[in-house]
A and B are shown apart, each in its own frame.
Chain A
């Protein structure tokens, strides 16, 4: 079907696609699956919770029998507070995830940790994510940094369009090594995008973001991606001691 000038007047345009967006937008070659966890902790327990997580998460991370790694672990500083955010990578996709799960069920240390942790929590929420092919894979980095997690609730059906624009936009946002990772949800809330950024501090975040507007093309990307968003949220997060992203 040919697009006429008339049809082009409508902002809400969804092109018919021929494949699942998970297939079109994700890194195919490495078959990584990510899990993001949001734990809302009882305010009086946050310190004890962090201490409890430190050892257990690191042990799972370093144990070669588990095909998963801790990408980063944080406390929310601005946004929803008294919250811990953990990002895990499963090398080998769904089978790796299932393997870890079934091994953890028999891991006594983990089960004890879980029941201890249960007493400190208000609620938990998680999502399974794939990474955008045009973002770099997150690798450990030295600190100190602050991290910003920008979460976008897109209008259903607009993921491909989002991907097309950001594949170009990401070029404008690498100058200060700020881009850490870009993900979209597969299970949990759908049509969610998470962009993870690292900055030296809040001032450097401000300067870096302002600098993007000096690049020709950035304004255009913002102009075209903003109408795709239903809701967006930004969290400033502080890495925990054991986080590989510091």
Chain B
């Protein structure tokens, strides 16, 4: 009984899977890839079926860097005190070679959600490095005292674990003074590969003024979120640099195809804190 039922069941499962794929394709308006005729060319929103997790396809494999971004909403009356305290503690952790992590940058939000600190950390060595830091910090009495002090100044905290896009440069320290723009995109789930394909081309239109700092996508926390980090001399130079991109052939096409992938987007202008390696 079992022996004859199994192949049938398998066939049913396969058929079921194919039906699902077909239904999904039809629902999203995809044409068959092998039949790329006039019909498929009508659709702007085209997603190829993928064979691997997007984290594998899009991230830098050779470096195995993991990033953590932290958003701290500070009680307005404690902002200065918070900055002073964070400056001291982060500097120490950053320089302690015993901890496989570094501060990439630390900022205060100037435009956007205010009274907010944003910290970006890099863990060289991926998840094991992250775990090691966590374990060591839990035994670090100075750090625990800092955490306790800090918690009195905070309204709320939020963090995300990030990977960096393979086609963006790794963020390296830079001297200032600059303002930083963090553009955060909430994408439609399932469109990360398509986003990556378009931005792999688009990024070359956005390097002329040394403005590109880093490009990341989330692995834990809010998902399908992309963060692009840019540096500019000031707001005026930001305006001019961004305008110049429209002069380049190809930028308009990238904008045209990436816009429909976005659910919500947000831009923050941030000022580096005193100890931030990105100044």
Contact = CB atoms under 8 A, between A and B. Distances in A.
Interface of A: 4, 6-7, 12, 14, 16-20, 23, 93-95, 97-98, 115, 117-119, 121-128, 153, 156-157, 186-191, 230
Contact of B246 (A20, A115, A117): A20
Residue of B76, B255, B259 contacting most chain A CB atoms (<10 Å): B76
B111 A188 contact: yes
A126 B246 contact: no
B79 A118 contact: yes
22 contacts: A6-B42, A7-B42, A12-B260, A14-B256, A20-B243, A93-B239, A94-B236, A98-B236, A121-B77, A123-B76, A123-B113, A124-B76, A124-B114, A128-B111, A156-B265, A157-B255, A157-B259, A157-B262, A187-B181, A188-B111, A189-B265, A230-B263
Contacts of A16: 252-253, 256
Interface string B215-247: 000000000000000000011101100110010
A94 B44 contact: no
Given A17-B252, A117-B76, 11 more contacts: A95-B236, A118-B79, A121-B115, A125-B112, A125-B114, A126-B114, A156-B262, A187-B181, A188-B111, A188-B267, A189-B112
A14 B43 CA distance: 12
Q: Secondary structure at chain B's binding surface: helix, strand, loop or mixed?
A: mixed
A230 B188 CA distance: 13
A130 B111 CA distance: 15
Given A7-B42, A188-B266, A190-B267, A19 B76 contact: no
A176 to B, nearest CB: 34
A124 B262 contact: no
B112 A188 contact: yes
B264 interface: yes
A233 to B, nearest CB: 14
B155 interface: yes
Instruction: Return the 6 tightest CB-CB contacts between A and B, nearest first.
Output: A157-B259, A124-B114, A94-B235, A156-B262, A118-B77, A118-B76
B274 to A, nearest CB: 15
A123 B155 contact: yes
Interface string B175-187: 0000001010000
Given A16-B252, A16-B253, A190-B266, A93 B236 contact: yes
B255 A17 contact: yes
B236 A187 contact: no
B80 to A, nearest CB: 8
B73 interface: yes
B269 interface: yes
Nearest to B77: A118
Given A16-B253, A17-B252, A124 B115 contact: yes
Most chain A Cβ neighbours within 10 Å, of B115, B183, B242: B115
Interface string B57-82: 00000000000000001001101000
A11 to B, nearest CB: 12
A6, A7, A156, A230 — which one has the most chain B CB atoms within 10 A of its CB? A156
Contacts of B255: 17, 157
Contact of B269 (A7, A18, A115, A187): A187
B260 to A, nearest CB: 6
A94 B234 contact: yes
A187 B268 CA distance: 6
A14 B76 contact: no
B267 A98 contact: no
B260 A157 contact: yes
